[in-house]
Structures are given as structure tokens and as C-alpha cells.
């Protein structure tokens, strides 16, 4: 079984087009078809439903997707770790959702780089499900997430309490602010539940965004309001470019570091977590 078969399968599943996958991989379309056919023959089942202008994964293909991601990630990490070991460095991969990179991880990884020259650091951004899956498969050393998973193979450490505050491009009350260009940022299920409890009569927001950084940039350039992490907005509050809505409740979320208890770097990970800057 060739690792290229898996990378080709992932590219076809992403593009849903054999020709586009070939262009992206800089190979011929016939090579793409041959690799997919070889993988299907070895597995004994079709991975794609091939219809004109409609390439879809079969149920077996959907199941194969997670395995292919783990296999290619493990292979790439093995190549990296072998190279790094020859260079005398210890690879350490840290993954987090986008919003937590803005709030927590950016400063931490810079500190690790400055204080631990023995480490070869790798930063990654994924959704919560992928982060946990990769941590379980030991293809990611540390995942930083909002929602702590329940799994016997995972160690969970609470890192920080993130205070989400209502800010706006102009001062006002919470009732008025929520009616004027309000952006609903998706900070996770528990946030949305609390938000609905606090503002049961709130009308449909003018915009819904999955990342705090995008909402912040939008408000700075176009105006509006949103619940954003206090750490992200404090410089703009100090400058007077943004205003905190004082009568709006603060909504708190906990951030967690997660690692596999079978990870050979577990002791090192525990040490590094104690060095994370306080928030």
C-alpha cells in the first residue's frame, strides 16, 4: 500500500473532482484514477460514487476518510521526527481552534520557542473533532479546546477562563447594542446556550461568524458589536476605538489542554503546561 494512494484519496474527497485533484497534486488524471482504483481493490470496496459532475464518497469512503487522515499525518510526522532526531531536536506539535490561537496559543508558542531551543515546534489549526481525534491517535501532542472531552485515554488540564465581553464600535446599553449591527460569534455550544438564556428576545443578528478574529476585524472596519474575548479587545478599548457595554453580562468559557496519557512526551507536556503564561 502506497502513501500516495492515501494522499490522492484525500485530495479527491476534498475537491470531489478527479481532474482538479490531479492538477493540485501535479500528476495526470490517469494516475489519480489508478491510485484510487488500487486503493479500492486492496480494500475490496468502492470509495467513490462516480457520476458525471458529481463525485461523492460512499459509506465506506466516509469511514476511510478518518483513517486516511491519520495515516498521512502519522507518515508526515514520522518523516519530520526522524529528521529532527538527527538534528538533535525533539518535535512537539500543538494544535488549537482558531480563536484560541488568538487568545492563548500565540503567546505560549513564542515563549516556548524562546525558552526551549531543544524543541522543534509545530503549530496547527483544526476544528475540535479533528484535534481530539489526532490527539487520540498520537499524531498531535497537545490539543487546546473549549469543550473538554471525556475519554479514558486523554488527560485534560484546565488552562484559563476566557471572559467574553460585549463590545461595540460606539457606546450604549446592551438592549440598544443588540439591535444595531450585532454579530453573533460562535464560541461553542455552552456559549450559545448561555447567550440565548441572557437574551431570549434578541432578534436575528445581522451577521453570524465562527471566529472572533474575523468579527473583530469586521467591527473595526465596518462598525457593529459582538461578544469577544477580553484579551483580544483590551488594546482597542484602551485606545477608545471600541467600547465595552457595561450593563451586558460577562460570559465565561474555560479553555483546556488535552494530551494522550500514552504519549511518550507526557512528562514534558506537563512541565510545559505549567510554563504557560497566566491569563
Cell of 53: 459532475
Give me the sign of the Cα torsion angle 241, 245, 250, 251: negative
- pLDDT tens profile 48-96: 988 877 789 999 988 888 888 888 877 776 766 665 554 567 889 999 9
pTM of the model: 0.68
Instruction: Provide the 3-class DSSP secondary structure of residue 170.
Output: coil
Which domains, from first to last, does the chain contain?
3-74 (1.10.10.10), 87-160+255-274 (3.40.190.10), 161-254 (3.40.190.10)
Cell of 182: 450585532
**Contact between residue 224 and residue 182 where contact means Cβ atoms under 8 Å apart:** yes
Reported as a pLDDT band with limits 50, 70 and 90, residue 276 is confident
- pLDDT over 80 (residue 255): yes
**Contact between residue 146 and residue 254 where contact means Cβ atoms under 8 Å apart:** yes
The pLDDT, as a whole number, for residue 241 is 95
The pLDDT, as a whole number, for residue 4 is 84
Element (H, E) at 80: helix 59-86
Number of Cβ atoms within 10 Å of the Cβ of 75: 14
Amino acid at each position: 500500500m502506497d502513501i500516495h494512494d492515501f494522499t490522492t484519496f484525500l485530495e479527491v474527497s476534498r475537491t470531489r473532482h478527479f481532474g482538479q485533484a490531479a492538477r493540485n497534486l501535479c500528476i495526470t488524471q490517469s494516475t489519480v484514477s489508478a491510485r484510487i482504483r488500487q486503493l479500492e481493490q486492496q480494500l475490496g470496496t468502492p470509495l467513490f460514487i462516480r457520476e458525471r459532475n458529481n463525485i461523492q464518497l460512499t459509506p465506506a469512503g466516509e469511514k476511510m476518510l478518518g483513517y486516511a487522515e491519520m495515516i498521512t499525518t502519522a507518515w508526515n510526522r514520522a518523516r519530520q521526527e526522524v529528521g529532527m532526531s538527527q538534528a538533535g531536536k525533539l518535535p512537539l506539535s500543538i494544535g488549537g481552534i482558531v480563536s484560541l490561537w488568538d487568545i492563548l496559543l500565540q503567546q505560549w508558542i513564542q515563549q516556548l520557542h524562546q525558552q526551549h531551543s531543544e524543541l522543534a515546534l509545530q503549530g496547527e489549526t483544526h476544528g475540535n473533532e479533528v484535534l481530539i481525534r489526532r490527539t487520540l491517535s498520537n499524531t498531535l501532542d497537545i490539543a487546546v479546546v473549549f469543550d473538554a472531552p471525556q475519554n479514558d485515554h486523554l488527560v485534560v488540564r484546565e488552562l484559563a477562563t476566557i471572559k467574553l465581553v460585549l463590545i461595540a464600535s460606539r457606546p450604549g446599553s446592551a438592549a440598544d447594542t443588540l439591535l444595531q449591527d450585532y454579530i453573533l460569534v460562535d464560541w461553542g455550544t455552552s456559549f450559545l446556550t448561555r447567550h440565548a438564556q441572557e437574551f431570549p428576545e434578541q432578534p436575528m443578528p445581522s451577521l453570524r461568524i465562527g471566529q472572533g478574529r474575523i468579527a473583530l476585524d469586521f467591527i473595526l472596519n465596518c462598525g457593529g458589536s459582538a461578544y469577544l474575548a477580553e484579551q483580544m479587545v483590551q488594546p482597542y478599548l484602551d485606545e477608545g476605538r471600541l467600547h465595552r457595554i457595561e450593563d451586558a453580562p460577562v460570559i465565561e468559557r474555560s479553555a483546556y489542554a488535552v494530551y494522550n496519557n500514552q504519549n511518550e512526551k507526557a512528562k514534558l507536556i506537563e512541565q510545559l503546561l505549567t510554563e504557560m503564561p497566566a491569563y
